Amino acid sequence: MLALDHIVIATRDPKQAAEDFANEHAVQTIKGGKHENWGTYNYLAYFSNNSYIEWLGIFDEETAKISDNPLIQQLVASFEDNKEGMIQFALRTHFMDDFVDYYNDQRFSYKGPIPGKRIKPDGTLLEWCMLFPSTTSNLPFIIEWGNGKNIPDDKNLINTKKIISIHTLGKDVLEKVYQLNFSNNYASLENSSLKISDTLTFKIT
């Protein structure tokens, strides 16, 4: 079963946005790191149901603008439209090759898997790969971590709260592309749920 991995929030000032969220919701946030190949950087908040929020910003506009990563293209487009806020979320799998085979069998268009990496503040390397279904624009992407989970070394930095649901659009597409089963506009994930709504948002508790 797919799991909620993380929520992506576009912001020109990830540090300030993370601090504002921490103050409002009484959670801890931490500095993430830089994605040198994409010109981006992030701040993070980890939750007890093995999910997190990423405040994503740009430190090198030239590099970001020429990136062929669909998520970075979406981030750049958001800033060009003067929009900040939640733009995307990622669903986690341990079997990305199965999704590639499924998309090929169904003749769904997709991009990836695209490798990613960043150096954590402690100097260690974090690696992952991403798969972007492009049956329609800005669908959630699928992520698989390569060398361990993306969690802080200090477990005290993991908040006791949970991201309990993602509110999103497109029930029919979500069912088909991610092989999810919806009942009364809800679909269960391994660690959270999806709720069909007319806005893209999330709920923590």
Of 1-5, 58-62, 134-138, 149-153, the poorest mean pLDDT is in 134-138
**Residue 197 structure tokens:** 């709504």
pLDDT at 135 over 70: no
Cα distances from 201 to residues 73, 86, 139, 163, 184, in angstroms, run 20, 7, 14, 11, 18
Summarize the confidence of residues 188-201 as an average pLDDT. Answer: 96
Give the predicted TM-score (pTM) of the model: 0.95
> CB burial class (10 A; 0-12, 13-18, 19+) of residue 121?
exposed
Task: Give the chain's domains with CATH numbers.
Answer: 3-204 (3.10.180.10)
Task: Tell me phi and psi for residue 23, to 5 degrees.
Answer: -65, -35
Are the CB atoms for 190 and 49 separated by under 8 Å?
Answer: no
**Secondary structure class of 158 (helix, strand, coil):** strand
Q: Which of 156, 141, 55, 144 lies closest to 96 in space, CA to CA?
A: 144
| 67-118 tens-digit pLDDT | 999 999 999 999 999 999 999 999 999 999 999 999 999 999 999 999 998 8
